[in-house]
């Protein structure tokens, strides 16, 4: 693996205790850092996706920003649904399993992530549960593709699935759909900003670069594009593989290989902006269909973020 030689030399990303602590404090940190940006961005993306039938072409940054301020069909935009968050000790029942909520880990526009454990299991092992409110617009249904990616991962050779969390369970309640996966630690966004307070070596930045590149390559190998590569969507491992970096959030992933032919799908002629403005590839800004190269371009922007550790967290979007 490309990261192996670096791993020996690199500073550990985080000491074990800090990582474990990090997972419990994740909600706070996420609220402070990546969460707002992520939520706003996803909400905005949803609005973009919903502006169906817009005849306006974006002709450069200025026009696009103007369009953002005045969406073509404001009445068609779905407002994020109000939903009640689950509280510690709430139960989510599936066919054979009863999941008990420990705490909220993160919150998005259309769902939340909770730390949970199986009440019937004696080991008390904790997992992450991602929820998605029922009744949202079809275009906002993102959990289905997440489940697909994680289930496909299970079939991949072990060497290609070490950067993915394990798929554990899926189900539906009266209010939401859910996905249960293995639990990981804080995101790279939280590690960079909060845990290491921008104070880390170039070796650590390079270690993260190699691990995340490996993860993106494995996802491409599986036949999917991520389309939202950014530090908030990668997380460090907990416990044993704590130096392992995991890729999360396949909510806007897309199959780039046609399963019938085994060949990459041809580009669609007209697409909406999707992703996170700060890390989006140029093709995405130009409303062109994305390919593997665009995930790599976003990866480069992310690496420049790791390397320029004093880069201010610009808030102009
Ligand atoms: N498997 C997991 N283990 C621990 N924390 C997780 C896990 N999956 C997600 N999270 C936390 O929840 C946050 C939001 O998850 P994500 O899948 O990125 O959802 P969103 O669609 O809201 O961006 C992540 O940044 C991470 O902090
Ligand atoms: Mg995310």
32 is in an annotated binding site: no
Which residues of the chain register pLDDT less than 70? 1-82, 136-140, 241-242, 312-317
Considering 121, 155, 182, which residue would you say is the last residue of a domain? 182
Domain count for the chain, please give it.
2
CATH of residue 265's domain is: 1.10.510.10
For the stretch 243-275, pLDDT in tens is: 899 999 999 999 998 888 888 888 888 888 988
Q: Which residue's CA lies nearest to atom 9 of ligand 1?
A: 113
Q: Are residues 156 and 211 in the same domain?
A: no
38 inside domain: no
Decide: 113 in ligand 1 pocket, CB within 6 A.
yes
50 inside domain: no
- Give pTM, 2 decimals: 0.76
104 inside domain: yes
- Cβ-proximal residues to 235 (8 Å cutoff; 6+ apart), any chain: 184, 185, 186, 187, 188, 245, 246, 248
Considering 122, 150, 182, which residue would you say is the last residue of a domain? 182
Decide: 45 in ligand 1 pocket, CB within 6 A.
no
Q: Are residues 309 and 211 in the same domain?
A: yes
- 30: CA distance to ligand 2 center in Å? 10
For the stretch 52-69, pLDDT in tens is: 433 333 333 344 444 433
Decide: 184 in ligand 1 pocket, CB within 6 A.
yes
Can you point out the beta strands (E) in the chain? 91-93, 98-107, 112-118, 126-133, 167-172, 176-182, 224-225, 234-236, 245-247, 254-255
The parent domain of residue 197 ranges over 188-313
Question: What DSSP state is assigned to residue 192?
Answer: I
């Amino acid at each position: 693996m490309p990261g192996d030689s670096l791993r020996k030399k690199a500073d550990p990303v985080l000491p074990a205790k800090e990582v474990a602590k990090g997972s419990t404090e994740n909600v706070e940190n996420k609220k402070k850092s990546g969460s707002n940006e992520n939520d706003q961005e996803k909400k905005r993306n949803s609005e973009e996706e919903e502006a169906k039938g817009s005849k306006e072409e974006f002709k450069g940054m200025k026009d696009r920003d103007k369009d953002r301020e005045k969406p073509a069909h404001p009445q068609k935009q779905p407002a994020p649904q109000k939903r009640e968050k689950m509280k510690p000790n709430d139960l989510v029942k599936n066919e054979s399993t009863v999941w008990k909520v420990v705490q909220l880990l993160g919150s998005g526009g259309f769902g939340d992530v909770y730390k949970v454990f199986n009440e019937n299991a004696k080991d008390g092992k904790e997992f992450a549960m991602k929820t998605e409110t029922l009744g949202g617009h079809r275009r906002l249904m993102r959990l289905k593709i997440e489940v697909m990616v994680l289930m496909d991962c299970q079939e991949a050779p072990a060497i290609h699935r070490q950067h993915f969390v394990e798929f554990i369970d899926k189900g539906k309640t009266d209010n939401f759909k859910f996905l249960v996966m293995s639990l990981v630690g804080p995101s790279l966004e939280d590690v960079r900003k909060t845990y290491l307070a921008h104070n880390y070596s170039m070796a650590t930045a390079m270690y993260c670069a190699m691990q995340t590149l490996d993860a993106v390559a494995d996802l491409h190998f599986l036949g999917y594009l991520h389309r939202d590569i950014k530090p908030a969507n990668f997380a460090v491992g907990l416990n044993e593989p704590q130096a392992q970096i995991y890729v999360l959030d396949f909510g806007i992933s897309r199959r780039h290989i046609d399963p019938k032919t085994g060949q990459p799908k041809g580009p669609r002629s007209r697409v909406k902006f999707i992703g996170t403005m700060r890390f989006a590839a140029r093709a995405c800004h130009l409303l062109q269909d994305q390919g593997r190269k665009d995930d790599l371009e976003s990866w480069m922007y992310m690496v420049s973020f790791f390397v320029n550790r004093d880069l201010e967290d610009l808030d102009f979007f």
